[in-house]
Structure 1
Amino acid sequence: MTETAQPSRGVRLPRDARRAQLLEAAQHVFVHNGYHAAAMDDIAERAGVSKPVLYQHFPGKLELYLALLETHGNELVRRVREAIASTTDNKQRVRAATGALYEFVASEGQAFRLVFESDLRGEPAVEKAVETALSDCIDAITEAVTADAGLDAERARLLAVGLVGLSQVTARYWLDTRDTISQDEAVSLISTLAWKGLAGFPLQTP
């Protein structure tokens, strides 16, 4: 989501467009204020709508937050799956998957903070949404590792967890240092680190 000009109050939008507008406003408020300090009044004002309009779409702040988590979690999973499917070369798959996680952190209006740095992780529904997104990313990588490295599902999944964890932790660290290290260089460094480890499990051919 990117910031756009706020429409004037009273402008009638199609339901899907209004929902997208409200989610964009909510993302800005949640990212900048955190969940607990964010108020529905602030989100309505940011979106340029009345509170009743906001409540027509979302019954409460938690439901709005969960809708954002689902939206961005799905986007993260889509990027990782596309990265895995983009090549059959295993080394390039590692780079592509690492790059997908870096791109997610670098874009989406700091949406990654909602997924990886939520101040509401104690809430079961939020915890489930975050874990689902990460688990789906891990599943996509596990499938490729199982098929190409000849490992059983449990060992392949452990490697996939390692790649996802390595990529998302370093990407968040890199975000504060990107003035000195470009995104391409960071992805190259981390994917090389991951590949040299994964290269210890050679491709199994029939």
Structure 2
Amino acid sequence: MTPRRRLSPDERRRVLLEAGARLFAERAYDAVLMEDVAAAAGVSRALLYRHFPSKRDLFAGVYEQATDQLLGATPFDDGKPPLEQLAAGLRTHFDYFEANAHSVLAANRVLAGDPTIQAIIEGELGELRRRVLDALGLEGTQRLRVSSVLLGWLTFVRVLTVEWLENKHYSRAELLDISLGALMGALQPILGSEIPPAPNSE
């Protein structure tokens, strides 16, 4: 019988994060037990705790990895209008939010006051803001003014999306229309006719 290859620390961490991501996607945060994660990853609890001292640390690792993957899946292409690119990025994020509602709600409700989780969210919002500003080609004072608007808009979309996941008071197409409409309305006083028309919703 061929012995199993010993995993490197990075490989082991990846396996643990994959197991954690599956369970956090399937269950509410409070229903995920570290022993269940260890069992899903095929390791002992001691080994799991060696990599992640607490469930909060494991969740932070899972959420940070998901954020990196989302940012990687939503690059901006200079060949397309900015709002069209933004709409595509929002759709990609909505796909993830729907598939991982428990994780998103945990980050924005259960762990809303956790500084590590908030730093991950703020880092993602900051990168998205930079990408939109670059796609719009803004510089100087105009870039600073629009940057402030984008910060408020991204926070608005985050809150709106969490509300949608919890209650579904509006459809996904309406969620997209509301998000893009809010941005266009907020940018109109600054950019005026320079704003390209919003793309059609799903």
Please tell me whether the aligned partners of residues 163 and 194 of structure 1 are also in contact (alpha carbons under 8 angstroms): yes
Q: Which amino acid in structure 2 is aligned with residue 99 of structure 1?
A: R
Residue 36 of structure 2: aligned partner: 42
Structure 1 residue 124 corresponds to structure 2 residue 115: yes
- With over 3 angstroms needed to count, the CA separation of the structure-2 counterparts of 1:171 and 1:71, relative to structure 1, is same
Residue 190 of structure 1: aligned partner: 179
Please tell me whether the aligned partners of residues 69 and 114 of structure 1 are also in contact (alpha carbons under 8 angstroms): no
> Which structure's residues are more often helix, by fraction?
2
Q: Which amino acid in structure 2 is aligned with residue 140 of structure 1?
A: R
Shift of 1:128: 2.2
Please tell me whether the aligned partners of residues 23 and 64 of structure 1 are also in contact (alpha carbons under 8 angstroms): yes
Gapped regions of structure 2 (runs ≥ 5): 196-202
Please tell me whether the aligned partners of residues 40 and 51 of structure 1 are also in contact (alpha carbons under 8 angstroms): yes
Please tell me whether the aligned partners of residues 86 and 93 of structure 1 are also in contact (alpha carbons under 8 angstroms): no
Task: Please give the alpha-carbon distance, in whole angstroms, between the structure 2 residues aligned to 1:89 and 1:150.
Answer: 21
Shift of 1:72: 1.7
Structure 1 residue 155 corresponds to structure 2 residue 135: no
Task: Please give the alpha-carbon distance, in whole angstroms, between the structure 2 residues aligned to 1:48 and 1:142.
Answer: 45
Task: Please give the alpha-carbon distance, in whole angstroms, between the structure 2 residues aligned to 1:121 and 1:197.
Answer: 26
Please tell me whether the aligned partners of residues 29 and 102 of structure 2 are also in contact (alpha carbons under 8 angstroms): no
Q: Which amino acid in structure 2 is aligned with residue 187 of structure 1?
A: L
Moved more, 160-169 or 15-24: 15-24
- With over 3 angstroms needed to count, the CA separation of the structure-2 counterparts of 1:169 and 1:127, relative to structure 1, is closer
Q: CA RMSD in A?
A: 3.5
How many pairs were matched up?
188
Please tell me whether the aligned partners of residues 34 and 55 of structure 2 are also in contact (alpha carbons under 8 angstroms): yes
Trace 1:86-105 onto structure 2 (pairs within 5 A). Answer: 87-105=79-97
- With over 3 angstroms needed to count, the CA separation of the structure-2 counterparts of 1:26 and 1:52, relative to structure 1, is same
Task: Please give the alpha-carbon distance, in whole angstroms, between the structure 2 residues aligned to 1:110 and 1:79.
Answer: 21
Per-residue deviation, residues 26-81 of structure 1 (Å, max 9, x unmatched): 2355563436x75422321333322133235434434323211220221233344x
Trace 1:11-90 onto structure 2 (pairs within 5 A). Answer: 14-15=7-8, 18-30=12-24, 32-34=27-29, 38-80=32-74, 82=75, 84-85=76-77, 87-90=79-82
User: Residue 168 of structure 2: which of 177, 192, 201 is its match?
Assistant: 177
User: Residue 143 of structure 1: which of 122, 134, 157 is its match?
Assistant: 134
Task: Please give the alpha-carbon distance, in whole angstroms, between the structure 2 residues aligned to 1:109 and 1:21.
Answer: 21
Task: Please give the alpha-carbon distance, in whole angstroms, between the structure 1 residues aligned to 2:94 and 2:78.
Answer: 16
Paired-residue identity, %: 22
Secondary structure of 1:152's partner? helix
Task: Please give the alpha-carbon distance, in whole angstroms, between the structure 2 residues aligned to 1:113 and 1:43.
Answer: 19
Task: Please give the alpha-carbon distance, in whole angstroms, between the structure 1 residues aligned to 2:95 and 2:141.
Answer: 29
Q: Which amino acid in structure 2 is aligned with residue 85 of structure 1?
A: D
